[in-house]
Amino acid sequence: MSGDRERYKVECDDGWTLDVLHIPAVGEAKGSVVLGHAMMVDRRSLDRPQGAGFGTAMAEAGWNVHLPNLRGRGDSGPDVDAGGSWSYDDIIRFDLPACVAAARKLKPGPVWVVGHSLAGHASIAAAGAGFYEDAPPDGHVLLSSNMWTPDLEPRWWLRRRKATSVLLFAGILKLFGKFPSRGFGMGPVDEAGSYVSDIVRIWKGNAWASRDGEHDYFEGMKRVTGPVLAVVGKGDDLMAHPSGARAWTDGFGEGRADWWLVGEGDHGLPFDPDHMTVVTDDRSRPLWNTILGWMSEHA
Q: Check whether 97 has a pLDDT greater than 70.
A: yes
pTM of the prediction?
Answer: 0.97
Q: Check whether 3 has a pLDDT greater than 80.
A: no
215-233 confidence digits (pLDDT tens): 999 999 999 999 999 999 9
Quick one: pLDDT band at residue 175, thresholds 50, 70, 90?
Answer: very high
How far is residue 2 from each of residues 55, 107, 113, 289, measured CA to CA in Å? 10, 16, 20, 16
**What is the C-alpha separation between 285 and 57, in angstroms, rounded?**
8
Bridge partners, residue 232, by sequence: 261
**Can you give the pLDDT at residue 108?**
87
The fold adopted by the segment(s) 6-298 is Rossmann fold (3.40.50)
Question: Taking residues 91-100, what's their average pLDDT?
Answer: 98
**Can you give the pLDDT at residue 134?**
77
274-291 confidence digits (pLDDT tens): 999 999 999 999 999 999
Strand pairing class (111-116; 139-143): parallel
5, exposed or middle or buried, with CB in 10 Å at 0-12, 13-18, 19+?
Answer: middle
**Can you give the pLDDT at residue 206?**
98
165-174 confidence digits (pLDDT tens): 999 999 999 9
**Can you give the pLDDT at residue 12?**
98
**What is the C-alpha separation between 136 and 212, in angstroms, rounded?**
23
Q: Check whether 38 has a pLDDT greater than 90.
A: yes
Question: Taking residues 6-31, what's their average pLDDT?
Answer: 97
105-152 confidence digits (pLDDT tens): 998 899 999 999 999 999 999 999 999 987 999 999 999 999 999 999
Q: Check whether 1 has a pLDDT greater than 60.
A: no
Domain boundaries in the chain? 6-298
Q: What integer best gives the mean pLDDT of the chain? A: 97
